[in-house]
Amino acid sequence: MAEDEDGGTGLPASLEMAWGLRDRPSKGPRPTLTLPKIVEAAVTLAASEGMDTVSMGRVAKELGVSTMSLYRYVAAKEELYVLMADAGVGAPPPLPPEAQGWSWRELLTDWAYAQRAVLMANSWILRIPITAAPVSPNQLAWMDRGLASMAGTDLRESEKLSTIILIGGLVRNEATMAADMMDAIIKSGVAPDQALGQYI
């Protein structure tokens, strides 16, 4: 990752730690927390109780520490959201052996379905607003795999990126609609199988 003129990356300290560019806060006593531990607690909370419950204070409570101690690792809740989303999506899965003979369309389709599976399994990610381009390791790994799927096309790099953004947006929107429907069904008190049977 490129450094800025001052020798830094230009990233918040928490993202530098996520990229392995900063081990731990450099000042103060030796910390008892780690960034992965904070992110794990936040993800567990989001998965069990929903994104609405995730705050710096609540995560600190789950970890049994003061809220201020979290700010030595994460400067703001929005940074924590970025790290949570990165942990939630994980690294893209490896391609199956038969993918060697696939066309770019098949590769891109596999990429899209793999993304949907991750989002549906971790639907709390869909409640995190997208406010900037991907900057975290796993998010960029997914983007790289999508771009690599189109290596055999004649598209310009900017066109490949636009295609990835379009398809990724469609996947996220469809997954959000599916998650919203499931939430509504659960809140209605009707068994999901029974409710879905009305539309089949």
Q: Which two tokens stand for residue 10?
A: 């230009």
Q: Which residue has the tokens 């929107």?
A: 173
Task: Give tens-digit pLDDT for 4-20.
Answer: 444 467 778 778 877 87
Q: Domain-by-domain residue ranges, the chain?
A: 13-88, 90-197
Task: Give tens-digit pLDDT for 35-48.
Answer: 999 999 999 999 99
- pLDDT bin (cut points 50, 70, 90) of residue 115 is very high
Residue type, 112: A
Q: What is the mean pLDDT of residues 159-177?
A: 95
Query: Which of 30-34, 147-151, 194-198 reaches the highest mean pLDDT?
Result: 147-151
A 10 A CB-CB count for 24 gives: 14
Domain spanning 13-88 has what CATH number?
A: 1.10.10.60
Q: What is the mean pLDDT of residues 68-79?
A: 90
Percent of the chain clearing pLDDT 70 (strictly above): 86
CA 115/CA 77 separation, integer angstroms: 25
Fold classified for 90-197: Tetracycline Repressor; domain 2 (1.10.357)
The pLDDT of residue 200? 43
**DSSP string for 8-53:** S-SS-HHHHHHTTS--S-SSSSPPS--HHHHHHHHHHHHHHH-GGG
Rounded mean pLDDT of the chain?
Answer: 86
